Amino acid sequence: MPLSMPSFSPPPVDCGFIPSLELLPLLAATRQDTSSLRFQGCPGYGRIIRQLLTGDLQAGVLPWELFVSEVLTRPGQADQWSVPLVIQTCPSEMVLSRAAFRCCFPPRTAAAAGPMPKLTFAIEGKRSLTRLQIGHWLSPLPGAARPRYKVLPLELMLKGLKADMIDGIVAPAPWGMYAEKLALGKAAPTFAAGPFAQHMVFLCQKTVTDHLANLLHHLPAACLAARHNLGDEATLRATASWANAAGGPPLSAPLLAQSAARYLPSPPATTPPDFIPDAAWLTTELERLIQFQVLSPEGYSAALAQGLVTRPNHV
């Protein structure tokens, strides 16, 4: 009688992420399939990037411009990665230290006191669009000087605010709300990302796409369904609890619910194009990075040649 060979199931793909509002639909859509995808909470995008480059992570969720500038265009990364999902525009919040808030929003009765002191902001990467968001926001303020920037992971941004080492941060929602809740500073009511709004992307090694083929094929539609389901408080709480168990900085379900009510519009009836990257999307977004001087022409050419994204068959 012939011996039966044991079946082999590849290990789950490890995906790094920072818990935040725009990740909830992706987490809700995939949290039941832990045999295919295993999320690992991280304190900052820098750690995700390093572990992607070393192979400790096979997938991750990153701002698009950091993925291109810090991962894709590094030596040896050609043809290593694919981008099966765009997680739409990332809502973000600015929090200023109380001293910086008084500089930027002086009382109406205060007389002009000369130039504003140079402010220091923490950002998650030298080529982050957050740097341009901050400069764009500061430019119309009377007496504002060009700010300084420090590259810090999210956890250290909060500690930097507490220790008065930095004057402000821009963080994905609801981290700004969380910092304000901890009395680390005050939210800037006039802040908006403007033309420099970030896209978050879910990316993975091309060598594991066959393992995730079924999941990736259905992921855009699953994320859309999850956005609808997250309107149910019990579902939102369960997703937040699961995300916190995955590690990384914890966020409470009530805070996420408050943030969702503020930022998440009603989901569309059909899967929006932003969820499904294709060659046209790739080219347009790379051209934006060139226009904003985030990516060099050489980096643009290298990124364009990768064939990163393809439109799924079901669209």
Mean pLDDT per block of 10 residues along the chain (315 residues) reads 54 89 86 81 91 95 93 87 84 93 80 74 92 93 89 91 94 90 93 89 89 86 85 82 73 80 74 76 89 88 80 50
Exposed/middle/buried for 190, CB within 10 Å: 0-12, 13-18, 19+?
exposed
The pLDDT assigned to 112 comes to 54
The pLDDT assigned to 68 comes to 93
Taking the C-alpha atoms of residue 161 and residue 31, their distance in angstroms, rounded to an integer, is 33
Distances (CA, A) of 152 to 142, 184, 205, 295, 307: 28, 16, 26, 21, 31
Instruction: Find out whether 91 and 21 touch, Cβ atoms under 8 Å.
Output: yes
The pLDDT assigned to 133 comes to 94
For residue 84, is the peptide bond before it cis, meaning its omega torsion is within 30 degrees of 0? no
The pLDDT assigned to 144 comes to 84
Taking the C-alpha atoms of residue 230 and residue 226, their distance in angstroms, rounded to an integer, is 6
For the record, the structure tokens of 66 come out as: 């950091």
Domains in the chain: ranges and CATH = 13-90+198-304 (3.40.190.10), 92-196 (3.40.190.10)
Which H helix or E strand runs over 202? strand 199-205
The pLDDT assigned to 314 comes to 42
For the record, the structure tokens of 293 come out as: 């001087």
For the record, the structure tokens of 258 come out as: 């408050």
Residue with tokens 């080529």: 127
Strands 168-172 and 120-123: parallel
The pLDDT assigned to 315 comes to 40
Which H helix or E strand runs over 53? helix 45-54
Report pLDDT digits (tens) over 32-78: 777 788 888 888 899 999 999 999 999 999 999 999 999 998 888 87
Q: Which amino acid is at 279?
A: A
> Residue 74: how many CB atoms within 10 A of its CB?
14
